[in-house]
Structure 1
Amino acid sequence: MEELLVERGVEVDHVTVYRWVQRFTPLLADAARFARHSPGDRWFVDETYVKVNGVWRYVYRAVDQYGQVIDVLVSARRDAGAARRFFSRALSALKVTPSEVVTDAAAIYPAVLDELAPSAWHHVERYANNPIEADHSQLKHRLKPMRGLRTDRTAQVIITGHAFAQNLRRGHYELGLDVPPGARVAAAFTELTLAI
């Protein structure tokens, strides 16, 4: 990013870019909240791993049947409390209850889903969770060239920002829709800068 900005006549250090990401990602995601499409009723939920300051952390993620990232949560543990926090955040932020939730065979999900989304059908079948498993690779591909995440807060902001940009690129917001898909993210950010 530093080199791209220098090519355009803006001299900035990579640490400054990092601070911009930490500061403005939550603001941009919050400003775009009202333009977000409602997620589908079929959710694919899984957790993956990332290293934060040399320690493995769990990242709970969910996508709908259209590929929209619903929510992400970085957690030190893979337990019922973390799963409950993840589903509570997703359900309260979106005001949508899924009719089907597809997960792996982790023992923590049935009780949490019965508590928070009792009407949802909990689907566990081999290969049924492939959409979220494939989506994890997008996140891992983006995190691999980075020098590492230092705190859980940093990891949460970076991974949330990645999900936000991924949703913008895939057209899950009413932003930047009147431009070609390759320019959608830039047009959306232009619109959002006026909102913040």
Structure 2
Amino acid sequence: MISHCVWLYFRFPLSFREVEELMLQRGVIVSYETIRRWCPKSGQPYANALRRRCPRPGDKWHLDEVFITINGEQKYLWRAVDQDGNVLDILVQNRRNKAAARRFFRRLLKGIGAVPRVIVTDRLRSYGAAHREVMPSVEHRSHKSLNNRAENSHQPTRQRERAMKGFRSVGGAQRFLAAFSGISPHFRPRRHLMTATDHRAEMTVRFAIWEQITGTAGLPATA
């Protein structure tokens, strides 16, 4: 039950009450307050387990930042993905200056445990300044049209931000987006590159992995 609630909440732009209603349609009675406690608590461990099953990140990293609204104030969401679109890390910060870029670079290097061959960013000067300080030996390509991979990765977050009518706190946004960036992409294969048959087969595999990490493999389905 917990895994199904978490899947609904992080996979689709639903509120806790909407998840409660969907569970009720399946004959499962659970309050939205319980779902509100389950999803943040279980979402991050599930996301971490999915990331551990991912192949080693590529050596070409795309970095980008977008503004998000938190409690009526403008903050910035920094995101890094590899050349295959796999999310490497996200970080919510107050600024997008050199210090913020440097902090994100160091977080990436520590979390990934590897140095990329090349990083691709937009023309924000903060990237160049932080790059020269943190990873000067790495090639840096700075051009707006080169960074579509990272920009496209922001789209699911934008959809969720609109559905949630913004985030309420920086900590809450960081916790939600950290789990969301690990769970949501797992159920979003690159559909446009697959036939219908291949897509169904891929989703079958991904749901099987989800059942394994959530401990629900082999359990009877909810009526």
TM-score tier by shorter-chain length is 0.7 to 0.9
Specify the alignment match of 1:182 in structure 2.
203
Query: In 2, Cα distance between the equivalents of 1:137 and 1:31?
Result: 23
Query: In 1, Cα distance between the equivalents of 2:101 and 2:31?
Result: 38
Specify the alignment match of 1:83 in structure 2.
101
Unmatched tracts of structure 2, length 5 or more? 1-18, 190-199, 217-223
Once the two structures are superposed, residues 36-88 of structure 1 have per-residue CA deviations (whole angstroms, 9 ceiling, x without a partner) of 21111111111011111111110000111111111100111212222122121
Specify the alignment match of 2:147 in structure 1.
129
Query: In 1, Cα distance between the equivalents of 2:99 and 2:39?
Result: 29
Specify the alignment match of 1:175 in structure 2.
none
Partner of 1:127, secondary structure, is helix
Query: After TM superposition, where is structure 1 displaced by more than 6 Å over at least 4 residues in a row?
Result: none
Query: In 2, Cα distance between the equivalents of 1:182 and 1:122?
Result: 35
Q: Would the aligned equivalents of 2:66 and 2:78 in 1 still touch at CA under 8 Å?
A: yes
Partner of 2:95, secondary structure, is coil
Deviation of 1:170 (Å): 5.0
Q: Would the aligned equivalents of 1:169 and 1:184 in 2 still touch at CA under 8 Å?
A: no
Specify the alignment match of 1:30 in structure 2.
48
Q: Which one has the bigger helix percentage?
A: 2
Specify the alignment match of 2:62 in structure 1.
44
Work out the number of aligned pairs and report it: 189
Once the two structures are superposed, residues 71-114 of structure 1 have per-residue CA deviations (whole angstroms, 9 ceiling, x without a partner) of 10011121222212212121111112111111111111112112
Query: In 1, Cα distance between the equivalents of 2:32 and 2:39?
Result: 11
Query: In 2, Cα distance between the equivalents of 1:28 and 1:49?
Result: 27
Unmatched tracts of structure 1, length 5 or more? 172-178
- Report percent identity of matched pairs: 35
Provide the aligned C-alpha RMSD in A: 2.2
Query: In 2, Cα distance between the equivalents of 1:58 and 1:91?
Result: 20
Q: Would the aligned equivalents of 1:22 and 1:154 in 2 still touch at CA under 8 Å?
A: no
Is 1:193 the counterpart of 2:214? The answer is: yes
Q: In structure 1, what residue type is equivalent to 2:109?
A: L
Over 3 Å counting, the alpha-carbon distance change for 1:22 and 1:50 in structure 2 is same
TM-score by length of 1: 0.85
Over 3 Å counting, the alpha-carbon distance change for 1:57 and 1:15 in structure 2 is farther
Specify the alignment match of 2:11 in structure 1.
none
Deviation of 1:188 (Å): 2.8
Partner of 2:91, secondary structure, is strand
Matches within 5 A, 1:1-196: 1-170=19-188, 180-194=201-215
TM-score by length of 2: 0.76
